[in-house]
Amino acid sequence: PNPKKELLIHGVLFCAPWAIRTWMYGPVPDVVRPQPGVFRAEYRLMGEMRARAHNVVARYFTPRPWLTGKVDDANSLPPGEACLALHVRHTDKGDGRTKIPLEEFLPYAERFVQRGGEIIYL
């Protein structure tokens, strides 16, 4: 561990208005932990950071053609066909984060199927 590096990382993370804030791993402070029925300005900030990070990644990171070709071969969809991917995390969530029951994902899958969707990745 490098104490100076840790200070720099936390200083940028918490104090630099231009910095993109990522999800913190390790103990999560209550101030940024979502709580059912409670809205906090920090939630909006984290959403803004995610949007900013998405724009940076979309602008500067593109998959190599050989990789997209392998993905298309493994998961080919007919042109115009949609799929639904559900990112269910149970075993790798720690630090007191809420584990969402599988049943809470079901309405999204049902709605997708009702609208004609057929391919669901879990």
CB environment 19-33: b (16+ within 10 A), e (fewer)? ebbeeeeeeeeeeeb
Contact 68, 105 (CB under 8 A): no
pLDDT digits (tens, 9 = 90+) for 72-90: 888 878 878 888 998 887 7
Task: Please state the separation of Cα 78 from the chain's center in Å.
Answer: 26
Q: Where does the chain have alpha helices with state H?
A: 3-15, 41-60, 65-74, 106-114
Instruction: Select the more confidently predicted residue: 110 or 13.
Output: 110
For the stretch 22-64, pLDDT in tens is: 655 556 556 555 566 666 666 666 677 778 888 888 888 888 9
**Torsion angle in degrees (nearest 10) through CA of 18, 21, 27, 32:** 90
